[in-house]
Amino acid sequence: MTTTIEKIQLADSTLPTKEVEVPEWGVTVSIVTLSVAQRSEIENKFAGGKQVALTFRQALLTMAVRNTDGTELWTADQIAAPRADAVERLFQLALERNGFTNDDKQLLSDAEKN
């Protein structure tokens, strides 16, 4: 008999992704759904008051935007170079896909400034 937690773990063994075309670059990327641990890692870096080199935007984009085969698309340093309009659209989709509320965004942005 399968327990409830086993059913949850099985259902979440492959987190959902959403493929997004980026016409500015002529590519398609995947926006991945983060695990609770990954989302907590981002929140702890910023809301926890720790000073880190990454911005919230870079951290989320590094974790949540992937090549369509699931591999890492870019490093945090590489995110600074692409067009801001395309990156902003991917950032907004990553926020939405991972359940960040307006309050979460404000809290993390405020913590990032301190």
pLDDT tens track for 27-72:
999 998 887 678 877 777 776 665 555 678 888 888 999 999 989 8
Residue 95 lies in a domain: yes
Count Cα neighbours of 112 within 13 Å in the Cβ-side half-sphere.
Answer: 15
The CATH number of whichever domain residue 61 belongs to comes to 3.30.2220.20
Residue 9 lies in a domain: no
Residue 41 lies in a domain: yes
Residue 10 lies in a domain: no
Answer yes or no: are the C-beta atoms of 15 and 34 closer than 8 Å. Answer: yes
Per-residue pLDDT band at 113 (split at 50, 70, 90): low
Torsion over CA: 16, 102, 42, 37 (sign): negative
Instruction: Provide the pLDDT for residue 52.
Output: 55
Q: Range of 23's domain?
A: 15-113
Q: How many domains does the chain have?
A: 1
Instruction: Provide the pLDDT for residue 29.
Output: 94
Per-residue pLDDT band at 12 (split at 50, 70, 90): low
Residue 87 lies in a domain: yes
Residue 2 lies in a domain: no
